[in-house]
Amino acid sequence: MATTKRGETGQGHPSEQTLRGSKPRPSRSPRDLLNDPRLRRWIPRPPGGAPGGSPGTSPGKPPGKPRPPRSARDLRNDPRVRQWVPRVGVALLVGLVVTLMFSLKAGVLVAALLLAADTYRRSRTSSTVVAWQKSSAAERRTERQLRSLAKNGYRILHARAVPRDDEGVSDGKIDHLVVGPSGVYAIDSEKWDRRLPVRTLSHRKLFHGPFNKKDRLDEARWEARQASKKLTAEVGFEVPVQPSVAIYGPSIPWKVMRVRDVDVYAGNRARAYLRRRPKILTEADVQRIFQAAEAALPPKYPTDN
């Protein structure tokens, strides 16, 4: 039977150990494996970090300082916590009374329902504009619709005053000034009597029952034109502003109709009205126009933050 010499394979070829020498290679540590460029690309990289490191760190940079735990005083001074304390207290008190009268299960259920109902009521009346928190339900409803457009690149200002024109006249207010990829819009929210029908005549007249809304459309168009002049002067290029009226209450028998150069539609279509338009502005244009609007169109209500 043939024998195989040490350092040769059975086919007579030199083995890998013979080619590299008789001295065995030292074993590699885990750190050596992590630093091997052939293996690094197969190791998952945590978001914002390096392979094998902690998330949020990069090679050569020390990790950020952990946020210190909040003290009881910080929690007491947090306005979000302070507004929840009386609401939770009332719910617990009512739940305790129901528990004593009936059962623990009934008390917990009543307390939970009370908190849910209070949260829903506050969400319906909450607004970033203080003057809208007690009234102006139409403005609040449009504001809630427009919040979701932020993730699509839209920037929104609410309740902006229209500065005085060359004749010193100004009593206007733009309920919602929207700046986004599809352009700039001045939206006015209106609550009309639902019992009266809405109709148009030759795209030149808008009627709510027997009432002609010509003056309201002319006011919306004037406000948008004044805003366009101010923004154009601020940014150095023409910024057209499209006026529109979102109507709540009566049924609107069309999706969007332009009457006297003003887009008219049902209030619950405000978000769809903006999202289905072609993009004409870049992200840089949107940011520049939005900053100009903040400077040129002040808040209508001085107490608004």
Residues 159 and 253 in one domain: yes
**In a shared domain, residues 246 and 137:** yes
- Give yes or no: residues 182 and 106 share one domain: no
* CA 271/CA 149 separation, integer angstroms: 8
Cα–Cα distance between 136 and 189 in angstroms, integer? 9
C-alpha to C-alpha distances, 70 to 27, 66, 78, 231, 273, nearest whole angstrom: 48, 12, 10, 44, 44
Do 86 and 217 lie in one domain? The reply is no
How many whole angstroms from its chain centre is CA 146? 8
Each residue of 123-168: pLDDT tens digit? Answer: 554 444 444 444 468 899 999 999 999 999 999 999 999 876 555 5
Q: β-pairing, 262-266 with 257-259?
A: antiparallel
CATH number of the domain to which 212 belongs: 3.40.1350
What pLDDT sits at residue 300?
83
List the domain range (segments joined by +) for residue 229.
132-296
Amino acid at 3: T
Structural domain tally of the chain?
A: 2
Residue pointed to by tokens 């100004």: 170
Which one of 101, 125, 149 terminates a domain? 125
Residue 253 lies in a domain: yes
| Pair 114, 91: CB distance under 8 Å | yes
Q: Tell whether 110 and 184 lie within a shared domain.
A: no
Percent of the chain with pLDDT over 70: 64
Query: What is the total residue count of the chain?
Result: 305
Is 0.75 surpassed by the pTM of this model?
no
Instruction: Using alpha carbons, select from 188, 151, 180 the residue that is nearest to residue 290.
Output: 180
Which tokens belong to 191? 């609550």
In this predicted model, what pLDDT tens digit does every residue of 29-72 receive, in sequence order? 767 766 776 666 665 555 444 444 444 444 444 444 555 566 66
Residues of the chain with pLDDT under 70: 1-28, 30, 33-34, 37-84, 118-136, 164-171, 302-305
- Is there a single domain that holds both residue 139 and residue 268? yes
The reported pLDDT for the residue numbered 6 is 47
Residue 71 pLDDT: 65
Of 91, 125, 159, the position where a domain reaches its end is 125
**CA dist., res. 19 & res. 299, Å (int):** 82
Same domain, 107 and 177: no
Decide if 54 is inside a domain: no
Q: What single letter denotes the amino acid at residue 99?
A: T
Same domain, 146 and 275: yes
Distance of alpha carbon 242 from alpha carbon 280, whole angstroms: 13
Task: Give the single-character DSSP code of 273.
Answer: H
Kindly state whether residue 240 falls inside one of the protein's structural domains: yes
Rounded to whole angstroms, the Cα distance separating 176 from 244 reads 10
